Structure 1
Amino acid sequence: MSSTKMILGLFDDPDEMMHGIEKLQKNSVPIYDVYTPMPIHGIEDKLGIKESRLGYAAFCFGCLGGSVIFSIVYYTLVHDWPMNIGGKPHFAMPNFVPFTFEWTILWTAFGMVFTFFYATHLFPGRTPRVMDLRATDDRFVIAIDAKGNIPHDDITRILQEAGAVEVKHNDRKYVSYE
């Protein structure tokens, strides 16, 4: 068994890369991921990527933050240390709104930062995982997991027919910046 873990097809043009994706899918070659230096319209649909669920996570973090601060303020101002200020009732809802709003936004922001770090594995101090250094500069890269049933020579031929300027067989899963 070969030590190749990834087969990378490097393209100069996004249209040729999209043509390469079509050819690979037509030949039932599973694509691991695609790396581009700029956003390409319609690539998510072509690769079958589902819509992000980050909005649900943000909503949950916001609800959690709002509930926590509302509970703290309610307990503090109504049960633990009730004060009669200007004859207002202890449980005056308009007084609770600014704290609840601010904490909702704060918890949503921090929760989304932690969710981003978890989802992308980009924790501070960690070496970034990069397939090819030129993918962030001027190349469009299609990464194919080499552990499939299709021979590597056939994948190389398909990528070259689609217009790949270079096909690399990586024996390591990722190339590091160092």
Structure 2
Amino acid sequence: MSTNKVIHALYNDDDILMDAVKKVRAEHHHIEEVFTPFPVHGLDKALGLAPTRLAITAFLYGITGTAVSTWLTWYTMIADWPQDIGGKPSFSWLENMPAFVPILFELTVFFAAHLMVITFFMRSRLWPFKEAENPDPRTTDDHFLMEIPVEGNEDELKALLESTGAVEINVVEKH
């Protein structure tokens, strides 16, 4: 198992963190991860992260739910066991479709929501009983942590991070 050094720079204000991220990126250093106690607006852009494609998957999951619910209502009420309920004809799905709208809507939302949660957990690698990867418990309360890999430039990075307003800088071995 290989180990490598990373620098953990702690900040106590999100605005200072944002300025620090921009300054570190302007100096062409790679920021491995940023840990925050709450979502920081614009941090993903400042880190240079690509936009998420989860909205596309949500749309596709919704389409899947609509298709399944369309097939389910056709199969159960038209093909498998047609019934004359309130004088409605049981030979045409289109003529009965207004009665199926709640089922279509609910299964569309059900598929989109549940499959999005599963996709999010898989994409984030949040498996059941997974150990927490938070390097400092203060980042769940009131501190912000920027993690930068050290590639032979430890002193330069420390000086840069001190100039950005870091309240604490630690060099640690990451496993």
1:70 aligns with 2:70: yes
Which one of 161, 171, 174 corresponds to residue 172 of structure 1? Answer: 174
Choose from 124, 130, 145 the match for 1:126. Answer: 130
Q: For residue 162 of structure 1, what is the aligned residue in structure 2?
A: 164
Q: Distance in 1 between matches of 2:140 and 2:86?
A: 62
- Paired residue for 2:103? 99
| Maintained 8 Å contact 1:34/1:142 | yes
**Shift in alpha-carbon separation, 1:93–1:28, aligned structure 2, 3 A:** same
Match of 1:44 in 2: 44
Please name the residue that 1:135 is paired with: 139
Distance 2:102 2:18 in 1: 49
The structural deviation recorded for 1:132 is 1.8
**Cα deviation digits, residues 82-129 of structure 1 (max 9, x gap):** 223344222211122121111111112211221221122222221121
Query: Could you say what secondary structure the match of 2:32 adopts?
Result: strand
Deviations 1:141-167 (A, max 9, x none): 111133x4x522211221122221221
Q: For residues 9-51 of structure 1, give each alpha carbon's deviation from its aligned partner in whole angstroms, at most 9, with x where no partner exists.
A: 1112333323322321222101112222233333232222333
How far, CA to CA, are the matches of 1:20 and 1:50 in structure 2?
Answer: 20
Give 1:21's aligned residue.
Answer: 21
Q: Alpha-carbon deviation of 1:74?
A: 0.6
Q: 2:126 aligns to what SS in structure 1?
A: coil
1:108 maps to what in 2? 112
Q: Is 94-103 or 48-57 further displaced after alignment?
A: 48-57
CA contact (8 A) 1:4 1:171 kept: yes
Runs of 5+ consecutive residues of structure 1 not aligned to the other structure: 174-178
Q: What is the letter of the counterpart of residue 83 of structure 1?
A: Q
Judge conservation of contact 1:9–1:166 (CA < 8 Å) in 2: yes
Inter-partner Cα distance in structure 1 for 2:141 and 2:124? 20
Give percent identity, aligned residues only: 37
**Aligned-residue CA RMSD in angstroms?**
2.1
Distance 1:55 1:3, change over 3 A: closer
